Structure 1
């Protein structure tokens, strides 16, 4: 499989994965009980607030990740030249089940960490501004839209950094301080349709109305949630697809009983969006059981791989792929020399 084929396959599966993530978050928010969250905020119990917002198992997203894994393996296997060896993926192999269960745990663990940070950021911001527990709860889970009848504009489902950005944006807009309000206008993912409202308040030296701030910050939070869903979908789908490809090679080589191995070469997109560290890794070739090592020292068995501890900064939105080449191992006897 060449680079363009792999990238198109991954991109084709990303939208469904994004929708699955957003659906999971929407279900969590719609099931939330405002009164219970408000009571937990009154008690100052961050853990209880988080417990009232269980993210769930990401069942829909995990099914799509499994599909990406299988598609990567089966598509790759078709192009592997290994006469006499089965190319069928053994879905019951330990490596397969281990990877998929690991991905599920990774999603759940990260969601729990992010939710704890999000709750803390919103509760601290609410306490600092002296607003009511009801408003803080609404900042957390969002407000019901008159158009859709559903909640939006909350921070549930956001990464810790994104949730903190939402809290900071609210503080800036409520400050009434021109310097602070101008900082909001520098936020890349803000909804620019509200810029005129903010600019008018700055010129007139007045404080924005709380309801206007909730609308502005709510739209900002929604845009960050869309970005979060896009990043998670791309990163997890790409890793699963690439792991499937790698697994196809490993299983076929294993069936050769020592007669075959393979090498892999890192290929970047070679455009302006490629990370500097990945541009430097482009063309690096390693043996089957060796990792690629980026300029920053991260180790990855293939692009987007998390198994060796590569940080998200080396994996998120990565569009690189590995290209594989079969290598016969010379035997003292036999026809594979």
Structure 2
């Protein structure tokens, strides 16, 4: 006999299915950008001091992120289908069963997908352009030649995979700054700065012996080795970002599709909003948000928002417009319940 999954188990099952696919879609988009880069064009523009032209030559446009856009759409629709599949039996006043279906072409569904994807991808592209501009300006001002400056951004072609690795394309502006600071620390030859590099949690620890030897010798790490070390550090940060996007966007898509699935039934008249409540469910994790832990079990009417201890109104976890401090890395979800007594009376 099949076990009936709890609400948390259903969410975990959906996340385990879709988060890896969204993560892979983001990496696919970055691979597409880097594999189509023509290094010579970027170097030529940098030699003329044309940083804008160098950025344009990388073809960082929203169309490159089509795989991510499609993956979000698929996860969103998957969440909607999963929601209606778990719907309890609804009946009309005559006692006949009401057919419940997920409508992916519903106006609210289409609007969420359009607005969410546009905001996400536009933000990624703009952040990329800012990060790359800073990296190019920093490299040239440091005295690196245009070729090395470009390679530090777009990555170097691996003899093993044939792909570009170790670049900063795909990283956030903050992550790109981490890579630049790590490079400074390794090239400084200063023991304190070299030790600070060893405190970076996403570093490749296989190079720690090299850094420790540099500390003992009181010398900087060689430039060629710095390229290798920071390249692996950048790859690790890219993996972190892909993991973060995969998880965050999955929860956003599932949370929105569940909310919209209920709204569709209310619009059809199969339910009334006052018959539905939603409860905040916190998923235990190593570094859980204390505010979300405090919200565990909070129940509100369908059309009302939850209230965080800091006063933030949250329609549901990962809802559009929810501040990053309440969304990024959050694994909370909503459990919706129908008051069948009220429905029967109606």
| Range class of TM-score, shorter chain | over 0.9
Over 3 Å counting, the alpha-carbon distance change for 1:259 and 1:224 in structure 2 is closer
Q: How far off is 1:330 after superposition?
A: 5.7
Give the one of 169, 186, 189 matched to 2:202.
189
Q: Encode CA deviations 1:63-96: one digit per residue, 9 max, x unaligned.
A: 2211211221111112223223331112221111
Report the TM-score when normalising by structure 1. Answer: 0.92
> What is aligned with 1:246?
259
> What is aligned with 1:165?
178
> What is aligned with 1:79?
86
Give the one of 7, 11, 14 matched to 2:16.
11
| Partners of 2:106 and 2:55 in 1: CA distance | 37
Stretches of structure 1 lacking an aligned partner (at least 5 in a row): none
> What is aligned with 2:94?
none
Correspondences of 1:114-133 after superposition (within 5 Å): 114-133=127-146
- Give yes or no for contact 1:28–1:53 (8 Å, CA) kept in 2: yes
Q: How far off is 1:42 after superposition?
A: 3.1
Q: How far off is 1:328 after superposition?
A: 5.8
Q: Encode CA deviations 1:217-274: one digit per residue, 9 max, x unaligned.
A: 0000000000101111111111111111111111112222674531111101134332
Stretches of structure 2 lacking an aligned partner (at least 5 in a row): 1-5, 92-96
Residue 27 of structure 2 is aligned to residue 50 of structure 1:
no
- Give yes or no for contact 2:155–2:167 (8 Å, CA) kept in 1: yes
> What is aligned with 1:336?
345
| Partners of 1:71 and 1:169 in 2: CA distance | 41
What SS is found at the alignment partner of 1:190?
Answer: coil
| Partners of 1:259 and 1:34 in 2: CA distance | 59
Q: How far off is 1:46 after superposition?
A: 3.5
Report the TM-score when normalising by structure 2. Answer: 0.90
Q: Encode CA deviations 1:295-329: one digit per residue, 9 max, x unaligned.
A: 33433322122x2x222232122211100011369
Residue 27 of structure 2 is aligned to residue 22 of structure 1:
yes
Q: Encode CA deviations 1:193-235: one digit per residue, 9 max, x unaligned.
A: 0010011001101121111000000000000000101111111
Residue 300 of structure 2 is aligned to residue 286 of structure 1:
yes
Residue 221 of structure 2 is aligned to residue 208 of structure 1:
yes
Q: How far off is 1:148 after superposition?
A: 1.5
What SS is found at the alignment partner of 2:339?
Answer: strand
- Give yes or no for contact 1:266–1:321 (8 Å, CA) kept in 2: yes
Over 3 Å counting, the alpha-carbon distance change for 1:186 and 1:216 in structure 2 is same
Correspondences of 1:101-120 after superposition (within 5 Å): 101-120=114-133
> What is aligned with 2:152?
139
- Give yes or no for contact 2:55–2:133 (8 Å, CA) kept in 1: no
What SS is found at the alignment partner of 1:325?
Answer: strand
Query: Please, what is the CA RMSD of the aligned residues?
Result: 2.0
| Partners of 1:314 and 1:145 in 2: CA distance | 39
